[in-house]
Structure formats: C-alpha cells, structure tokens
Amino acid sequence: MPTRNTFVFGIGGTGARIVRSLTMLLAAGTKLNDTNKIIPIIIDVDADNADTSRALAALKTYKYIRSHGYSNTEEIRDGFFNANLNTLSSITNENDYSEGLDDSFQLQFENLEKSFIEYLDPRGELVGDINMDLLEALYDNSSHDDPNTELNLKLNQGFKGNPNIGSVVFNNLSNTKEFKFVLKSIGENDRIFIVSSIFGGTGSSGFPQLVKLLQQEEKLRGNKYGALTVMPYFNVTDDSKSAINSDMFNSKTEAALSYYLKYLNGKINCFYQLWDRPLKQYENKQGGIEQKNSAHLIELIGATAIIDFVNKPDGNFASKGQTQYFDFGIKKEDQVIDIRHFYPNTAKTVMEPLTLLTYAMKVYLETIPDMRNEAFFKELDLGDKIPNNAFYQNLTAFLSIHYKNWLVEMSGNERTFQPFNLTQDLNALVREKPIEVKKVLGIVTKPGISEAFLKTELGKLEDELKKSIPDQDKRFFKLLNRISMECYKKLEALPSMI
Amino acid sequence: MFEFLYELLCGQNPDPIFASDIYPFVGLFTLVFAFVFTLVFYIVLGRSKPIWDKTIHWVITMIILLIIAFGFAYNHAQTVTEEEENSFFYTFAMVNTLYAFIYYILFSILLKRFSIFAKRTPF
C-alpha cells in the first residue's frame, strides 16, 4: 500500500477552478502511481466566490461517492473515483494533532471581514502617524470613500488583482490552525503542489508566500515541490467601477515572473507554466457569488500538470536546488479542440478516462432510468434507490451538475474544448469518431451501442458481478465502470489526427 | 404417481387402459414439456439476450404450454381408447392442463435464479 500523500494547494479563483478540473479527471479514473491520498486545500479569502464554492461542492460529492462506492477493505487501483481525494482532517488517524479541524477542503483565514486598513490597524492607532503616511505612499487611498482603492478594499471579497495586499495577508496564513496542522502532517516522502494564477491578486501573492512559509520549516525543505502558474488566458470587460483591469494582466505577469525567477528558482522541483492567447472576455465580476467563470481547457490542462507531478518517479526529478520547467503543447493550433489534438500520452492517461466517464454519465442519466422492467434494474433496486438513496443522489448530482456542466462550459468557452457530442446518441458521442452502424437491405446488422446492446451487457455484467459484490450500491458502481468499458470497446480507439 | 394425481381430480375411470397407458405417458410428457418450456424461457433465452424475458412473454409461453398439454391429453386419450367422443376426455385434458400450469410455476421458481434476463419474471 503506497504511503505517499500529495498536498495540492489551489490558491484563488484559478486555483479553485483547476482543482475542480482535477476532481473531474480523478472522477474519470485517471490513475495515480504510488499515491495514498491527494489532499486538495483551497485557499481563497473570497469566502463567497462561486468558482471556489463549485470546486468545494464537487470535492465533497467526490469524497462521498468514493467512500460509498467502494468497500473499506478493498485496494482500489482503477475505475471511476479511484483516487483517494480527501480532506486534511482525513489524516487524523495517522496523527493526533488535528483536534478542532473542520472536515473541509478549504483553508480558512480569520479576521477578514474588514477593509485592508482596518486589518493593518484594527484600533485606528495609526491615524496621523508617520506609518500611515508610509502606508498611503505604498497603497492607493486616493479617494477615502471609494471601496475599490487599495487601503479600503474589503478583504473577504478577495484581493481583486492586488498582490501587494495579498502578500501582507498571506503572511498571517501561518497563524491558522489548519496551516499549523498542514506543517505537522506533511511527511518526508509527501509531495507538495501549488496551483495559482499569476495575473490576479490572491494566487500571485499567495504562491510565493506559501512556498516561503512551508520552507521555513526545516523538515519540509527536502520534500518534492511542484507548482503550476497560470498566465493570462482570459480578459475581463472594462469597468471603471471595478478594481480588476485586464490591461494590467501582462504587466503583473511580467513583474511576478521576475520575482519568481529571483526568489523561487531552485526551491520548486517542477515548475509548470500555462498560457493561452486570451480569446474570451469574461464579465468583470470582482468576486463573490457573481464570480463564476466557465470552465476552460487551460484549467483541464492545468490539472494534467498535477497528475504528471504526482506520477513522476522519484528518480525523474532534477537534483536538489534545481528547477525543471514544463510547458504543455497540443498537436495543432485550432479554435475548437478535441481529443485528436492531444499527444498519445495525454490521450491515454486523461482523454480515455474522460471518454469512459462520459459514456457512464450518458448511460446512467439517460438510458438506465428507462430500463425499469429489466432484471438488473430490479436486482439492484434502482427504482427506489435512484430517487431516494443518498449515494445515488450524490452520483446523479456529480454527473449531471458537476461533470456535465464542466464539459458544457468548456465546449462553450474560447478556446473551445469539445471532445464529445453530448446531445447526440452514444454512437456519435465521441467527436470525429462515430461508431459505424451497418445496415443490409434496410435491416441493421451492426447497431453499435444500441439499447438492446446496453440491456444485454448490463444484464450479463450484473449477473457476473453479483457473485463477487453482494452490496447493491457497490455492485452498481462497478457495473457503471464495466458498461462504459463495453461501450469503449465498440469505439475501438480514440480519434487521432491523420 | 401420475395415476394417483389424475384420479385425485378426475375420479377413477373404469377403463384400465387409462391407469396402465394413458396417465403415465401423458403425465410424463406434460412434466417433461413443462420443464423444457421453463428451461428454454429461463436458461436458453433468458441467458442469451433480453428478447423474451418479460412477464407477458412468460404468460404467452405458459399459454402455449397449456394448449399443448390440453390438446395432447385429449388427443392421446382419443387415440389410445379409439373413441371419438367421451366427456371424461375433456375432464382429463382440463386436469392435465392444471397440472401443466402447476409444473410450470414450480419449474419457474426452481429455474429463475439461473436466468440472467428473466430472473425477476414474473415475480
């Protein structure tokens, strides 16, 4: 049994969105080598950020499905939701110092329900003091009443693209009980991965601060560190009332990269960088429940960086004090990207599991509910369980809300990622690779993935699995895995470019 | 055994040929036929494809079996006794149909667990 854990810190909105994509890839069954647990820790001061909320909800649902879809004694090596994506508090059994820790994927800051100046000077002691002059020289306070000026920004709404504020607040991260627990619970073989954007406020300031805080601990200096920095891949609309201005994205990126080069070089073993020409202009939302950016291909690719880092054998890292830099490329520049655009390794490790989960999603949501009269449906008591049982409710929520929406959002974003024809039947599901349906004299001789095929396979598989898996829910979960593999056999192989 | 079963419901027939020839042959034939019908329904078809596995299919299969059981009993009694008409033939055929029904139910209970697609048919 592998004992290595990987702690994945997702900082800010982009960090949360990439953790969301990671959740989808792991739900699809992307394999992780020699890894016990993946501990995602989302760090976002913007408590109501919709991107963060969605990522947290997906993680919570993932955790529930995994814990109920497999038995505790089973060693889970493959299949949907096989990776042990878990909360910080799940490592309680191994360590005794987690008292009072929430069972949450989020790391909470304290005392952020105030403006930046109130945070720095809670008792108003600096009024008229020379230090206030210094603060006003460093931070914009041009209009005392304007909540968008730097000193007046409400901190629990995020740093709104101001890393100079974030770096101050992030210094206090080390005082939170969750972070203290993190420091204690990272073992010598564990790996640490930090995801952030470079062009906003929270991620760009949080990343170097987090590295600094972690490596202040002597015992954590020998761990393997990976980081993903996402450079601008979208713009926001101009809004004079907003503190966020995408004209500043490139200059902020340049400044942050110079800083990283100077202060982080050699401290991170694997440095992954992602960038795309911004094609999409999002609405300028400063944070909170309104900041709900659609999922983007870049975030999926960002999640593959985490997989790459987690699966890297120990011997493949550069020697201590050296940083390896990684970029990601696709075969061909296009506006609409599908499975054919990826190189074989990504196709095999990421696109194949996604295809399997998409087959399972369609079968579960669209086909199985119409099979009430089939024996497998009755044997598994699905008529009662699908609407009423918590496991099935979570599975439905994950597939119909989290996973499907994630695919739909990417297919509507720019650059468009459209690997599947979600509205078409199972034979036409994989874009650019329809399963051929053969007819002779108008009679279908090779129907591909037909309803009859699914009924036959579901019945046979359920009968086979019943011998080894007595529990109905766990058997159904395995059945979903197996039926997607049968569908994949009909597809034969993923599409590729000629 | 079959003599006992038929005489239980039909009453005793004065012609000894019923006890010696007709009851054993019709009884065994009906029993084997009921078994073959349930075997085909639950195992042969019920394990290959989900095409003949629902309650309606089970009922149709049973009706065919019952018609055969009735016709065979009536016809065999006519052939062996060489009589054209006899009200006892009708009673005997009806009783045989009832036994065919009972055999079909019993074999269904026995064999349904070995089916894949019909293991919940009809109950």
Between these two residues, B1 and A460, which has the higher pLDDT value? A460
For residue B104, give how far its alpha carbon lies from the nearest alpha carbon of chain A (Å): 20
Among A90-99, A197-206, A446-455, the least confident range: A90-99
Chain B positions with Cβ closer than 8 Å to A: 49-51, 53-54, 115-121
* Strand partners for A85: A38
Question: Rounded to an integer, what distance in angstroms lies between the CA atom of residue B9 and that of residue A450?
Answer: 51
Question: Rounded to an integer, what distance in angstroms lies between the CA atom of residue A43 and that of residue A59?
Answer: 14
* Mean pLDDT across chain A: 87
Nearest chain B alpha carbon to A452 = B50
> Residue A145's pLDDT is what?
65
Average pLDDT over residues B42-66: 96
Cβ neighbours of residue A298 under 8 Å, at least 6 residues apart?
Answer: A230, A233, A274, A276
Of the residues A370, A373, A379, A453, the best mutation for testing chain B's interface (the one with the most B CB atoms within 10 Å of its CB) is A373
Question: Rounded to an integer, what distance in angstroms lies between the CA atom of residue A291 and that of residue A160?
Answer: 11
pLDDT band, residue A289 (cuts 50/70/90): low
- The DSSP string of chain B is -HHHHHHHHH---S-HHIIIIIHHHHHHHHHHHHHHHHHIIIIIITTT-TTS-SHHHHHHHHHHHHHHHHHHHHHHHHHHHT-S--HHHHHHHHHHHHHHHHHHHHHHHHHGGG-SSSTTS--
Q: Domain A5-111+156-328, CATH 3.40.50.1440 — does that match?
A: yes
Q: Which residues of B touch A459 (CB under 8 A)?
A: 50, 116-117
pLDDT at A95 over 60: no
Average pLDDT over residues A320-327: 90
pLDDT at A80 over 90: yes
> Residue A476's pLDDT is what?
97
pLDDT band, residue A291 (cuts 50/70/90): low
Give the C-alpha distances (Å, rounded to integers) separating A342 from A295, A326, A346, A352, A378.
Answer: 18, 16, 6, 11, 41
pLDDT at A94 over 80: no
For residue B34 the two structure tokens come to 């009921």
Question: Rounded to an integer, what distance in angstroms lies between the CA atom of residue B68 and that of residue B26?
Answer: 11
Nearest chain A alpha carbon to B55 = A373
HEC profile of chain A? CCCCEEEEEEEHHHHHHHHHHHHHHHHCCCCCCCCCEEEEEEECCCCCCHHHHHHHHHHHHHHHHHHHHCCCCCCCCCCCCCCCECCHHHHHHCCCCCCCCCCCCEECCCCCCCEHHHHHCCCCCCCCCHHHHHHHHHCCCCCCCCCCCHHHCEHHHCCCCCHHHHHHHHHHHHHCHHHHHHHHHCCCCCEEEEEEECCCCHHHHHHHHHHHHHHCCHHHCCCEEEEEEECCCCEECCCCCCCCCHHHHHHHHHHHHHHHHHHCCCCCCEEEEECCCCCCEECCCCCHHHCCCCCCHHHHHHHHHHHHHHHCCHHHCCCCCCCEEECCCCCCCCCEECHHHCCHHHHHHHHHHHHHHHHHHHHHHHHHHHCCCCHHHHHCCHHHHHHHCHHHHHHHHHHHHHHHHHHHHHHHCCCEECCECCCCCHHHCECCCCCCCEEECCEEEECCCCHHHHHHHHHHHHHHHHCCCCCHHHHHHHHHHHHHHHHHHHHCCCCCCC
> Residue A452's pLDDT is what?
95
> Residue A224's pLDDT is what?
95
Query: Which residue, chain included where needed, has tokens 């989900």?
Result: B50
Of the residues B56, B117, B121, B123, the best mutation for testing chain A's interface (the one with the most A CB atoms within 10 Å of its CB) is B117
Q: Do the Cβ atoms of B118 and B37 come closer than 8 Å?
A: no
The closest of A149, A180, A178, A177 to A165, measured between CA atoms, is A149
Between these two residues, A23 and B19, which has the higher pLDDT value? A23
What phi and psi, each to the nearest 5 degrees, are found at residue A11? Answer: -100, 130
> Residue B45's pLDDT is what?
96
Q: Which residues of B touch A466 (CB under 8 A)?
A: none
* Mean pLDDT across chain B: 92
Q: What is the CA radius of gyration of chain A?
A: 24
Q: ipTM value of the model?
A: 0.88
* Strand order, beta sheet including A270-274: A106-107, A37-43, A5-11, A191-197, A224-230, A270-274, A324-326
Q: Which residues of B touch A378 (CB under 8 A)?
A: 120
Of the residues B48, B116, B121, the best mutation for testing chain A's interface (the one with the most A CB atoms within 10 Å of its CB) is B116
CA dihedral B84→B90→B94→B95, nearest 10 degrees, is -90
Contact A463 B116 (CB under 8 A): yes
Angle at B81 between CA B76 and CA B82, to 5 degrees: 95
pLDDT at A279 over 90: no
For residue A143 the two structure tokens come to 């209009």
Average pLDDT over residues A353-373: 97
> Residue B57's pLDDT is what?
97
Contact A459 B116 (CB under 8 A): yes
Average pLDDT over residues A133-162: 73
Among A36-50, A160-174, A324-338, A429-443, the least confident range: A160-174
A372 touches chain B (CB under 8 A): no
Nearest by CB: B119 against A375, A452, A456: A375
| Residue spans per domain, chain A | 5-111+156-328, 116-152, 341-491
A381 touches chain B (CB under 8 A): no
Nearest chain B alpha carbon to A371 = B50
Q: Which residues of B touch A455 (CB under 8 A)?
A: 50, 117
Q: Count how many Cα atoms sit within 13 Å of the Cα of residue A290 in the half-sphere of its side chain.
A: 9
CB < 8 Å from B in window 425-454 of A:
452
Summarised one tens digit per residue, pLDDT across range A191-217 is 999 999 887 667 788 898 899 999 999
pLDDT at A155 over 70: yes
| Residue spans per domain, chain B | 29-114
Question: Rounded to an integer, what distance in angstroms lies between the CA atom of residue A244 and that of residue A235?
Answer: 10
Of the residues B43, B47, B48, B49, the best mutation for testing chain A's interface (the one with the most A CB atoms within 10 Å of its CB) is B49
Contact B120 A455 (CB under 8 A): no
Contact A378 B120 (CB under 8 A): yes
A239 touches chain B (CB under 8 A): no
Among A66-80, A121-135, A137-151, A204-218, the least confident range: A137-151
pLDDT band, residue B38 (cuts 50/70/90): very high
pLDDT at A428 over 90: yes
Number of A:B CB contacts under 8 A?
29
> Residue A409's pLDDT is what?
95
What phi and psi, each to the nearest 5 degrees, are found at residue A94? Answer: -85, -25
Q: Which residues of A touch B121 (CB under 8 A)?
A: 375
Give the C-alpha distances (Å, rounded to integers) separating A89 from A39, A47, A92, A485.
Answer: 9, 20, 5, 34
Angle at A149 between CA A143 and CA A153, to 5 degrees: 130
Average pLDDT over residues A68-85: 86
Average pLDDT over residues A301-318: 94
Contact B120 A460 (CB under 8 A): no
Cβ density class B5-44: b for 16+ within 10 Å, e for less: bbeeebeebebeebbeebbeebbebbbebbbebbeebbbe
Among A109-113, A228-232, A336-340, B70-74, the least confident range: A109-113
For residue A458, give how far its alpha carbon lies from the nearest alpha carbon of chain B (Å): 10
Q: Which residues of B touch A460 (CB under 8 A)?
A: 116
pLDDT band, residue A312 (cuts 50/70/90): very high
Nearest chain A alpha carbon to B47 = A460
For residue A464, give how far its alpha carbon lies from the nearest alpha carbon of chain B (Å): 9
> Residue B82's pLDDT is what?
83
Q: At what angle do helices A50-69 and A472-491 cross, to 10 degrees?
A: 110
